[in-house]
Amino acid sequence: MDMNEIKEIFFQECEEQLAELESGLLKLNDGDRDPETVNAVFRAVHSIKGGAGAFGLDDLVSFAHVFETTLDCVRSNKLEPTQDVLKVMLKSADVLADLVSASRDGGGVDEGRSRGLVKELEALARGELPTGGAAEAPKPAAPKPAPAPAAAAPAAPAPTDESGFQPVPFSFDDEEETIVPSVYEVTFKPRRELYAKGNEAALLLRDLTRVGEMSINCDTETLPHFDKMDPEGAYFSWKISVKTEKGEQDIRSVFEFAEWDCDLDVKLAETTDEELPMVPVPFDLSALDDDSASEEDAAEDAASIQAAAAEAVAAAETATNVSKMAAAASRVEKKESQAAAAAAAAAANAANAANSAGQTIRVDLDRVDRLINLVGELVINQAMLSQSVIENDTTGTSSINMGLEELQQLTREIQDSVMAIRAQPVKPVFQRMSRIVREVADMVGKSIRLVTEGENTEVDKTVIDKLAEPLTHMIRNAVDHGIESPEKREAAGKNPEGTVKLTAKHRSGRIVIELVDDGAGINREKVRQKAIDNDLIPADANLSDEEIDNLIFMPGFSTADKISDISGRGVGMDVVKRSIQALGGRISISSRPGLGSTFTMSLPLTLAVLDGMVVTVAGQTLVVPLTAIVETLQPEASSIHSFGANQRLISIRNSFCPLVDVGRILNFRGTQANPVEGVALLVESEGGGQRALMVDAIQGQRQVVIKSLEANYTHVPGIAAATILGDGRVALILDVDAVVAASRGQSLKQESSLKSDMSLAAAG
């Protein structure tokens, strides 16, 4: 693994942390005061900052730092997370997300915005906290006690402020060659806490050798008699003379980890020219490097402990061994209760088992897709096997049939489980929407609250990925056009704060996503007029309310009087509709004037398999997606009515429905078939109306594995995809909406003529 891969991991992790951050903030916004929520929010920012620091992403670090500081005030209850505070924080979370994407993909961020937020965050940290300046203060001042001048003038006493000494800028490069080494005297007396925290006098002394040449003298006077000795006590102190070109700070930094737990004194030796009064004691580092050697020494040292104390390094070594002995002793004690240990182990195992329940692994999507594809083949193969057994087995051996049934069930289960791997909660997409609501509401000066429901509803990852764009557009529309301004809302007796509700749920093998706003609803008069002005419908068209509402999905339709910055980007609801349809989904709208609108999207849970009705049309086998079919019926001659030159209607329970011959539309045959000889599939077209599709016969219902035609051949109008049936033949999957659309214009090649379509609807 190299740094680039780790960076990739970092950005993945950032996404997760950002999601965590946002959902935590939203929870706080809803009044959640669980300290763990605040902690999780804090940790998310903290983690991003930590990783960003490692990659030198300074902009990200500095913003995260300010954000973190303010969050810390919330965490320590110095700042009450009111709605106003959270508003700033949610915005900050957005900016943080922008900074993350900017770091990943390049590109800039709105600097004015982030600077403004930094100010707001800092104000929050200060405002509620009179001494907040301290929390904001820059890092502890870097070591600045000017070791260089001291080194340059070794004989001079350490300069003090009183002496009027002013540090002078000093360049090492010029002077390095001429630095005269100075001698420091270090007194080091560890306390027992030093050892308790895992520090080690011998190791510290070893470190000191890096600073310069030194001689060590160990003071063993306080060492009590062996009987009275606390095995974990600290009895030695050391006097060390260090001859170094470095400063006092470098010596002190050796003891950085230990300075609280020892008495340390570092000063320049009075006389630097004379020889050291002490006899240098060789500092044997090899003992530290070789574990086994020191173990062997242990017994020896322990026996001759008082003799050993004479030598400084050995003494340090002893201190090590003494604590090792103590550890060994406590190990013996531990053995006393084996039963208790076993019980603890069992408990630990249980805890492990509980942990593993929530464990996840990350798998490359390609691997999953390969598996899904293979399972698809398995399903096809199983179907073929079943079919050939049925065809060849006239005796009907029950054991084979039973085995086959089991196989079928198993393959189905495998398939479902594999599909479940790709299934993901819609949560990330929903979370993105809350940001969009915030931003757009801010831009247009409205106050809007996004409520989400069912965000743990799972759906295929591909569907989720492709859902974001149309959903974003719809949310923008709802905020920009759907919800009225606070003044208008108040005038209408509504809560000035608008609500947009986004829900997801499973319904009969599909996922249904609803977007509900409590705005003004669709202004039907305006929509109708607009459609007439834009030449989308004839001026005298007689449309139902539902049909008027659905006009907004037509290409070239836009109700906003002036194209606004937010939703009017040249993309209309027709594009939304097309992207939903591309996913095998449907979208519809219902609206109540003054009360708001509801957009309902229904999408397949997966794009890999489909429940279909296998039908025969002009000798060809076709699959019609089951979800499109409302009902099937056998038309009677009396209910078929001619309409126009070659259109026909079928009357079903006193309402008329256009009859569409699938064989004719797909050019399987030149003339229309006799409806009475076939079967009519009543399908719902997304325009709200229904159509009856004529097919010759129904073979049955089957789950089929979708094979893309585009990937293997080319796009065929009216055909959504293909599949392989049990007998090994390829069957085409009907694109119901395309066929219905084509029936309006009588051709699949060109886009349906909307005018004639609407006039037909008007007449019908």
Partner 1 sequence: MKKKVLTVDDSRTIRNMLLVTLNNAGFETIQAEDGVEGLEVLEECNPDVIVTDINMPRLDGFGFIEGVRRNDKYRAVPILVLTTESDAEKKNRARQAGATGWIVKPFDPAKLIDAIERVTA
Residues that bind partner 1 (CB under 8 A): 1-2, 5-6, 9-10, 12-13, 39-40, 42-43, 46-47, 49-51, 53-54, 56, 61, 139-140, 195-200, 202-203, 207, 256-257, 260, 288-289, 291, 294, 320, 323, 327, 330-331, 333-334, 348, 351-352, 355
Q: Mapping DSSP to helix (H, G, I), strand (E, B) and coil, where does residue 467 land? A: helix
627 φ, ψ to 5°?
Answer: -65, -25
For residue 705 the two structure tokens come to 């594995």
If the CB atoms of residues 184 and 195 are measured against partner 1, the closer one turns out to be 195
If the CB atoms of residues 49 and 473 are measured against partner 1, the closer one turns out to be 49
d(CA 653, CA 631): 13
If the CB atoms of residues 37 and 690 are measured against partner 1, the closer one turns out to be 37
In the bound complex, what is the minimum distance in angstroms from residue 1's beta carbon to partner 1? 6
606 φ, ψ to 5°?
Answer: -145, 155
If the CB atoms of residues 15 and 219 are measured against partner 1, the closer one turns out to be 15
d(CA 410, CA 399): 16
Please name the residues in contact with 538: beta carbons below 8 A apart, sequence gap of 6 or more.
Answer: 532, 755, 758, 759, 762
If the CB atoms of residues 4 and 83 are measured against partner 1, the closer one turns out to be 4
If the CB atoms of residues 60 and 724 are measured against partner 1, the closer one turns out to be 60
d(CA 424, CA 459): 5
If the CB atoms of residues 358 and 396 are measured against partner 1, the closer one turns out to be 358
In the bound complex, what is the minimum distance in angstroms from residue 55's beta carbon to partner 1? 8
In the bound complex, what is the minimum distance in angstroms from residue 196's beta carbon to partner 1? 7
In the bound complex, what is the minimum distance in angstroms from residue 142's beta carbon to partner 1? 11
For residue 602 the two structure tokens come to 């229904």
In the bound complex, what is the minimum distance in angstroms from residue 123's beta carbon to partner 1? 21
In the bound complex, what is the minimum distance in angstroms from residue 147's beta carbon to partner 1? 20
In the bound complex, what is the minimum distance in angstroms from residue 173's beta carbon to partner 1? 22
If the CB atoms of residues 56 and 445 are measured against partner 1, the closer one turns out to be 56
d(CA 756, CA 762): 10
In the bound complex, what is the minimum distance in angstroms from residue 288's beta carbon to partner 1? 5
In the bound complex, what is the minimum distance in angstroms from residue 546's beta carbon to partner 1? 50
The H-assigned helical ranges of 360-422 are: 365-392, 398-422
If the CB atoms of residues 341 and 539 are measured against partner 1, the closer one turns out to be 341
Decide if 759 contacts 538 (C-beta within 8 A).
yes
- 228 DSSP assignment: G
If the CB atoms of residues 194 and 740 are measured against partner 1, the closer one turns out to be 194
180 φ, ψ to 5°?
Answer: -95, 130
Q: Which of 681, 686, 724 is nearest to 702 (CA)?
A: 724
d(CA 531, CA 225): 104
Residue type, 725: L
CB atoms within 10 A of CB 100: 23
In the bound complex, what is the minimum distance in angstroms from residue 52's beta carbon to partner 1? 8
Q: Mapping DSSP to helix (H, G, I), strand (E, B) and coil, where does residue 386 land? A: helix
In the bound complex, what is the minimum distance in angstroms from residue 69's beta carbon to partner 1? 11
d(CA 388, CA 409): 18
The CA–CA distances, whole Å, from 376 to 463, 581, 706 equal 19, 23, 8
In the bound complex, what is the minimum distance in angstroms from residue 549's beta carbon to partner 1? 48
Q: What is the 3-state secondary structure (H, E, C) of 533-579?
A: HCCCCCCCCCCCHHHHHHHHHCCCCCCCCCCCCCCCCCCCHHHHHHH
d(CA 8, CA 14): 10
Please name the residues in contact with 350: beta carbons below 8 A apart, sequence gap of 6 or more.
Answer: none
Strand (E) positions, 421-494?
A: 423-425, 448-453, 458-460
If the CB atoms of residues 279 and 353 are measured against partner 1, the closer one turns out to be 353
3-state helix, strand, coil in the chain (%, to 5): 50, 20, 30
If the CB atoms of residues 200 and 735 are measured against partner 1, the closer one turns out to be 200
